[in-house]
Protein backbone atom coordinates (compact mmCIF):
# COMPACT_ATOMS: atom_id res chain seq x y z
CA UNK A 1 0.00 0.00 0.00
CA UNK A 2 1.12 3.54 -0.66
CA UNK A 3 0.69 6.70 1.36
CA UNK A 4 -1.64 8.14 -1.29
CA UNK A 5 -3.84 5.03 -1.20
CA UNK A 6 -4.12 5.25 2.60
CA UNK A 7 -4.96 8.97 2.47
CA UNK A 8 -7.71 8.36 -0.10
CA UNK A 9 -9.15 5.43 1.83
CA UNK A 10 -9.04 7.39 5.12
CA UNK A 11 -10.87 10.33 3.50
CA UNK A 12 -13.56 7.98 2.20
CA UNK A 13 -13.93 6.40 5.65
CA UNK A 14 -14.36 9.78 7.34
CA UNK A 15 -17.01 10.81 4.77
CA UNK A 16 -18.85 7.51 5.25
CA UNK A 17 -18.84 7.95 9.04
CA UNK A 18 -20.38 11.46 8.98
CA UNK A 19 -23.91 10.02 9.09
CA UNK A 20 -22.91 7.75 12.00
CA UNK A 21 -21.56 10.76 13.88
CA UNK A 22 -24.76 12.74 13.36
CA UNK A 23 -26.90 9.81 14.47
CA UNK A 24 -24.90 9.43 17.71
CA UNK A 25 -24.25 13.16 18.28
CA UNK A 26 -20.47 12.80 18.07
CA UNK A 27 -17.70 14.13 15.85
CA UNK A 28 -15.58 11.50 14.13
CA UNK A 29 -12.16 12.66 12.93
CA UNK A 30 -9.26 10.86 11.44
CA UNK A 31 -6.25 10.27 13.64
CA UNK A 32 -2.80 9.06 12.64
CA UNK A 33 -2.32 6.14 10.27
CA UNK A 34 0.46 3.64 9.72
CA UNK A 35 0.85 1.19 6.88
CA UNK A 36 2.97 -1.60 5.50
CA UNK A 37 3.09 -3.46 2.23
CA UNK A 38 -0.27 -5.18 2.59
CA UNK A 39 -2.10 -3.61 5.55
CA UNK A 40 -2.77 -0.32 7.31
CA UNK A 41 -3.96 0.91 10.72
CA UNK A 42 -6.06 4.06 11.04
CA UNK A 43 -7.03 5.69 14.31
CA UNK A 44 -10.41 7.38 14.61
CA UNK A 45 -11.01 10.07 17.23
CA UNK A 46 -14.62 10.20 18.43
CA UNK A 47 -15.63 13.23 20.47
CA UNK A 48 -18.98 14.05 22.07
CA UNK A 49 -20.96 17.12 20.95
CA UNK A 50 -22.66 18.92 23.85
CA UNK A 51 -26.16 20.42 23.90
CA UNK A 52 -24.81 23.79 22.71
CA UNK A 53 -23.42 22.08 19.59
CA UNK A 54 -19.80 22.44 20.71
CA UNK A 55 -17.41 19.52 20.39
CA UNK A 56 -16.22 18.48 23.83
CA UNK A 57 -12.54 17.65 24.17
CA UNK A 58 -10.01 17.32 26.98
CA UNK A 59 -8.05 20.33 25.67
CA UNK A 60 -11.21 22.48 25.53
CA UNK A 61 -12.14 21.42 29.07
CA UNK A 62 -8.58 22.16 30.25
CA UNK A 63 -8.90 25.68 28.84
CA UNK A 64 -12.16 26.19 30.74
CA UNK A 65 -10.53 24.99 33.97
CA UNK A 66 -7.01 26.44 33.82
CA UNK A 67 -6.96 29.45 31.47
CA UNK A 68 -6.42 31.89 34.34
CA UNK A 69 -3.30 30.03 35.48
CA UNK A 70 -1.69 30.84 32.12
CA UNK A 71 -2.83 34.47 31.93
CA UNK A 72 -5.61 33.74 29.42
CA UNK A 73 -9.20 34.92 29.64
CA UNK A 74 -12.18 32.57 29.67
CA UNK A 75 -14.01 34.62 27.04
CA UNK A 76 -11.13 34.10 24.58
CA UNK A 77 -12.12 30.45 24.06
CA UNK A 78 -13.62 30.19 20.54
CA UNK A 79 -12.45 33.73 19.72
CA UNK A 80 -11.09 34.25 16.23
CA UNK A 81 -7.65 35.84 15.94
CA UNK A 82 -5.16 36.60 13.18
CA UNK A 83 -1.59 35.37 13.39
CA UNK A 84 0.85 35.91 10.51
CA UNK A 85 -2.02 36.68 8.12
CA UNK A 86 -4.03 33.52 8.86
CA UNK A 87 -7.24 33.33 10.90
CA UNK A 88 -7.36 30.94 13.86
CA UNK A 89 -9.83 30.05 16.59
CA UNK A 90 -8.63 29.54 20.14
CA UNK A 91 -9.75 25.96 20.76
CA UNK A 92 -8.08 24.61 23.89
CA UNK A 93 -5.21 24.38 26.32
CA UNK A 94 -2.31 21.97 26.01
CA UNK A 95 -1.23 21.83 29.64
CA UNK A 96 1.36 19.12 28.92
CA UNK A 97 3.42 21.61 26.92
CA UNK A 98 4.02 24.76 29.01
CA UNK A 99 6.00 26.47 26.23
CA UNK A 100 3.24 26.13 23.60
CA UNK A 101 0.27 25.89 25.91
CA UNK A 102 -2.54 27.21 23.69
CA UNK A 103 -4.23 25.10 21.03
CA UNK A 104 -5.47 27.07 18.04
CA UNK A 105 -7.37 25.85 14.99
CA UNK A 106 -6.84 27.36 11.54
CA UNK A 107 -10.27 28.43 10.29
CA UNK A 108 -9.82 27.68 6.59
CA UNK A 109 -8.92 23.98 6.99
CA UNK A 110 -9.52 22.98 10.63
CA UNK A 111 -5.89 22.03 11.28
CA UNK A 112 -4.81 22.46 14.89
CA UNK A 113 -1.57 24.03 16.10
CA UNK A 114 0.12 24.85 19.40
CA UNK A 115 1.42 28.30 20.24
CA UNK A 116 2.71 30.23 23.25
CA UNK A 117 0.38 32.12 25.56
CA UNK A 118 2.22 35.34 24.66
CA UNK A 119 1.30 34.96 20.98
CA UNK A 120 -2.39 34.64 21.80
CA UNK A 121 -2.31 37.51 24.30
CA UNK A 122 -0.62 39.77 21.73
CA UNK A 123 -3.06 38.72 19.00
CA UNK A 124 -6.08 39.36 21.21
CA UNK A 125 -4.78 42.81 22.06
CA UNK A 126 -3.78 43.73 18.51
CA UNK A 127 -6.04 42.11 15.98
CA UNK A 128 -9.02 40.35 17.49
CA UNK A 129 -11.57 39.70 14.76
CA UNK A 130 -14.48 38.20 16.64
CA UNK A 131 -15.13 37.19 20.22
CA UNK A 132 -18.18 34.98 20.66
pLDDT digits (tens, 9 = 90+) for 97-116: 889 999 999 999 888 999 99
In a shared domain, residues 80 and 107? yes
| More confidently predicted of 128 and 13 | 13
Predicted confidence (pLDDT) per residue in 24-80, tens digit: 999 888 888 898 889 999 998 888 887 877 777 889 999 999 999 999 999 999 999
CA distance 40 to 95: 31
Q: Is residue 102 part of a domain?
A: yes
In a shared domain, residues 9 and 40? yes
103 φ, ψ (degrees, to nearest 5): -95, 130
In a shared domain, residues 120 and 89? yes
Which residues 6+ apart lie within 8 Å of 9 measured at CB? Answer: 40, 42
- Lowest-confidence region among 32-36, 81-85, 128-132: 128-132
Report which DSSP code applies to 111: -
Q: What is the pLDDT of residue 126?
A: 65
Q: Is residue 38 part of a domain?
A: yes
Whether the predicted model's global pTM rises above the 0.85 cut: no
CA dihedral 14, 20, 24, 28 (to 10 degrees): 0
pLDDT level of residue 129 (50, 70, 90 thresholds): very low
In a shared domain, residues 84 and 106? yes
Predicted confidence (pLDDT) per residue in 63-72, tens digit: 999 999 999 9
Q: What is the pLDDT of residue 127?
A: 53
Domain with 120 in it: 58-130
45 contacts 31 by C-beta, under 8 angstroms: yes
Which residues 6+ apart lie within 8 Å of 100 measured at CB? Answer: 94, 114, 115, 116
In a shared domain, residues 99 and 44? no
pLDDT level of residue 130 (50, 70, 90 thresholds): very low
Q: Is residue 25 part of a domain?
A: yes
Q: Is residue 53 part of a domain?
A: no
Amino acid sequence: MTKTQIQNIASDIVLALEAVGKRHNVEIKRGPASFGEVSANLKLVITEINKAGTVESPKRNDYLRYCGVYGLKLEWLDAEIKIAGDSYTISGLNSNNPKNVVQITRTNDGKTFKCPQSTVTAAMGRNSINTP
